[in-house]
Amino acid sequence: KRPAGAPDKALARKITKVGVVGAGLMAGQLALLFAQRLEVPVVMTDLDQARLDKGVAYAHGEVDKLAKKGRINADRANRLKALIRGSLTKDAFSDADFVIEAVFEEMSVKQKVFAEVEAVVSETCVLATNTSSLSISEMASKLEHPERVVGFHFFNPVAVLPLLEIVRADRTDDATLATAFAVGRTLKKSCVLVKDAPAFVVNRVLLRLMAEFIGAVEEGTPIDVAERAAAPLGLPMSPFILMGLVGPAIALHVNETLHGAFPERFPVSPKFRRFVESGKSGVYLPDFTLDPEAVEIFKGG
Ligand code: 3HC
């Protein structure tokens, strides 16, 4: 059955090679998923060799974990690792049909990345972005072929969570959208077509939820009590643990984007901002006890 709003799949283009811009955690997860499901070469790129090596090593490490768990055999593991490689230059994308970016969440950075990719790829290569909240139309606006840009928003952990928000920008054409849906289905994701609105759908809801928990903590409810109070909601993960999984800086970025669009509904908590500026990766320590310094930031005046 064709998902609501998806164009005819006959328009979808075949994908024989994928490019991933960025070699962070999200990019590594994406590289692995594309190699596993599309069975095509996946080239990752980043600004420096150290970051690139780390990203490729992460993806290869995840393949090893699958082999260790007995999910794949040694041949399959070697094949997947051979499909995923790194290149410092975007020239390696010249014969890619689908490039996805997962770089720093800043419009100018993403626009620059897309301009650089457009300079080396074919006219029909799809340019997808995994942005959490930025406008896809604005990201595409300076390109020669904005019609090939589409939002492709995954959820952490990418290997496990089934949803994929596919975002049509104001100039995205039917062939691009059909290709995006075909790729999404091959990745075995449940694809939904969402509007190019700030933070799309899921992050808008999630941020609201997180903001209310942060608010309760700021008002004096201890973090662990707020977490226990979340239990009746049946969430798969408590809100503050989820903040650590997503990354506090990304959560703040989504919050700021939503604040820009809907200032009244999405205020930015100064304590949350201070917490992010502290550089902490979450409110819990590795042994899942609360980090007293994080607690202090949320309690502080
Ligand atoms: N990477 C890969 N696989 C992972 C993983 C990871 N980081 N974390 C867990 N898994 C796998 C495990 O290996 C396990 O697989 P298996 O059954 O095949 O062995 C499976 O997931 C279940 O894991 P666990 O049994 O350890 O734990 P849970 O049952 O508690 O599930 C969870 C873990 C899937 C992370 C679950 O807690 C969950 O769904 N949490 C909510 C996550 C969520 O809401 N994410 C969305 C964030 S928003 C976002 O990403 C958008 C962005 O723009 C901000």
Q: What is the pTM of this model?
A: 0.94
Residue nearest to ligand 1 atom 11, measured at CA: 160
**CA angle, 135 then 141 then 145, to 5°:** 120
CA dist 286 and 44 (Å) reads 29
ipTM: 0.94
**DSSP per position, 117-173:** HHTTS-TT-EEEE--SSS-HHHHHTTSS-GGGEEEEE--SSTTT--EEEEEE-TT--
**CB of 3 closer than 6 angstroms to any ligand 1 atom:** no
CA dist 263 and 231 (Å) reads 29
pLDDT score of 199: 96
Residue nearest to ligand 1 atom 24, measured at CA: 160
Domains and CATH numbers, the chain: 9-195 (3.40.50.720), 202-299 (1.10.1040.10)
Residue 162: what are its φ and ψ, rounded to 5°? -80, -20
**CB of 242 closer than 6 angstroms to any ligand 1 atom:** yes
Report the run of H or E that residue 193 belongs to, with start and end: strand 190-195
End-to-end CA distance of the chain: 54
**CB of 250 closer than 6 angstroms to any ligand 1 atom:** yes
pLDDT score of 301: 62
CA dist 301 and 297 (Å) reads 8
C-alpha to C-alpha distances, 126 to 40, 152, 298, nearest whole angstrom: 15, 11, 43
**For residue 156, how far is its CA from the centre of ligand 1 (angstroms)?**
7
pLDDT score of 21: 97
Q: Would you state the structure tokens that stand for residue 169, as one six-digit string?
A: 């920008």
pLDDT score of 200: 97
For ligand 1, what atom is nearest to the CA of residue 155?
Answer: 50
C-alpha to C-alpha distances, 98 to 87, 95, 144, nearest whole angstrom: 16, 9, 17
For ligand 1, what atom is nearest to the CA of residue 251?
Answer: 54
Average pLDDT, 10 consecutive residues per value, the chain (301 residues): 80 97 95 98 96 97 97 97 95 96 96 97 97 97 98 96 97 97 97 96 94 91 90 90 92 95 93 94 90 88 62
**CB of 157 closer than 6 angstroms to any ligand 1 atom:** yes
Bridge-based pairing of strands 98-101 and 126-129 is parallel
Of 187, 172, 179, the C-alpha closest to 140 is 172
- Substitution candidate for ligand 1 out of 29, 63, 160 with most atoms within 8 A of CB: 160
C-alpha to C-alpha distances, 286 to 132, 148, 290, nearest whole angstrom: 26, 42, 9
**CB of 236 closer than 6 angstroms to any ligand 1 atom:** yes
Residue nearest to ligand 1 atom 48, measured at CA: 155
Of 114, 121, 116, 122, the C-alpha closest to 146 is 114
259 a catalytic residue: no
Of 195, 203, 193, the C-alpha closest to 246 is 203
CA dist 298 and 294 (Å) reads 7
CA dist 254 and 257 (Å) reads 5
**CB of 252 closer than 6 angstroms to any ligand 1 atom:** no
